Amino acid sequence: GDSVTQTEGLVTLTKGLPVMLNCTYQTTYSPFLFWYVQHLNEAPKLLLKSSTDNKRTEHQGFYATLHKSSSSFHLQKSSVQLSDSALYFCALRDQGGRALIFGTGTTVSVSP
Amino acid sequence: EAAVTQSPRNKVTVTGGNVTLSCRQTNSHNYMYWYRQDTGHGLRLIHYSYGAGNLQIGDVPDGYKATRTTQEDFFLLLELASPSQTSLYFCASSDGTDYAEQFFGPGTRLTVL
């Protein structure tokens, strides 16, 4: 069945460094991929989304490129800030097209 | 911005108890969803609905019922709560198009003793 895999449970890094969060997916239909961010004690919010192969999408300094050849949608940022400390979820639109399948999430912890 | 509210925000009950979690959206969205969030599992879909009176089963429906009474209101019912249902519950809404953003409520933290 459809699935999303996020391999890192926790990423710790220092302010100003780059970060990449891995996301791979499995599906038999045309994929729609999303990244959601959840700050502590808040609700998840959409960060960015894509359904276009090999096109970079950006928002709030984060960017990701959907690669259908490798079934990947990795999230990147060139220089993390303290405010980027949060839980990040990758999600795939399900085959019915109306619900989301979420990965297990990656916690990013940025230190000064 | 889209508005999704949930009540209560925190709930403690005992094993075997009856719990109803409420969700209201004022976005005029057709689709509403209930998720539970647990460490190591991410967000898992319990039930969802595309309109009043409609209910679709999600990925982890066992032990949960849901009812959509109006376009705005979606309820999650735990009729015989168990400790395994201790979790953080989120409601969300969307317009249901392929590329649609889901807007989440603030969450309800449920503890079953």
CB A15 within 8 A of CB A111: yes
Decide: helix, strand or coil at residue A104. Answer: coil
pLDDT (tens digit, 9 = 90+) per residue, A71-102?
999 999 999 999 999 999 999 998 776 789 99
Question: What residues of chain A lie within 8 A of the CB of B106, using their CB?
Answer: 42-43
Q: What are phi and psi of A2, to 5 degrees?
A: -65, 145
| DSSP state letter for A28 | S
Domain residue limits, chain B:
4-112
- pLDDT of B100 reads 83
How many domains does chain A divide into?
Answer: 1
The answer for A 56-95 residues in CB contact with B (under 8 A) is 89, 91, 93
Cα B8 to Cα B19: distance, rounded to the nearest angstrom: 10
Q: Which chain B residue lies closest to A48 (C-alpha atoms)?
A: B101
Instruction: Give, rounded to a whole angstrom, the gap between the first and last alpha carbons of chain B.
Output: 37
Domain of residue A33, CATH code: 2.60.40.10
Structure tokens at A50: 């894509």
The reply to whether CATH 2.60.40.10 applies to domain B4-112 is: yes
The amino acid that residue A96 corresponds to is: G
User: Inter-chain contact A43–B105, Cβ cutoff 8 Å?
Assistant: yes
- Per residue of chain A (112 residues), give pLDDT as tens: 889 999 999 999 999 999 999 999 999 888 999 999 999 999 999 999 999 999 999 999 999 999 999 999 999 999 999 999 999 999 999 877 678 999 999 999 999 9
Give the other-Cβ count within 10 Å of A80's Cβ.
Answer: 22
Lowest mean pLDDT among A41-45, B45-49, B80-84, B96-100: B96-100
Q: Domain residues for A77?
A: 3-111
